[in-house]
Amino acid sequence: MSESNWKEICHIDAIVPNAGRCALVEGEQVAIFRIQKSGNDELYAINNHDPFSKANVLSRGIIGSLSDRVVVASPIYKQHFCLATGECLEDEATQLKTYRVRVENNMVQLSA
Ligand code: FES
């Protein structure tokens, strides 16, 4: 994918550590998560739309870990989604779109 497909979203400090934030990217709501592990930031981005409640709420979900996976729990019905793969842990047929995300010069950038 070429460099030009990266879209600048916000400053890294605009996302509270260990929380999510919603961004609108090309008409799609994306939930971006900033996870801090031993002082380093890990960023994840998944679709913000919760297929179970049909609401755009996943950026406000509770972040946790299950086994080795970093997950977000939907604030509505509490299903867990793996932030790395978008997989729903309670329903393997349900898979959310994931996006590539990176930090360049303290700016969060996203690519579909
Ligand atoms: S690493 Fe997330 S489901 Fe396997």
Q: For 87-103, what is each residue's pLDDT tens digit?
A: 999 999 999 999 999 99
pLDDT digits (tens, 9 = 90+) for 67-79: 889 999 999 999 9
Q: Could you give all domains of the chain from N- to C-terminal order, each with its CATH number?
A: 7-111 (2.102.10.10)
Q: Ligand 1 center to residue 87 CA distance, Å?
A: 7
Report whether residue 7 contacts ligand 1, using a CB cutoff of 6 Å: no
Q: Report pLDDT for 4.
A: 65
Q: Is the pLDDT of residue 2 over 80?
A: no
- The token duo for 43 is 């960023």
User: Ligand 1 mean position to 50 CA, how many Å?
Assistant: 18
By alpha-carbon position, which residue is closest to atom 2 of ligand 1? Answer: 82
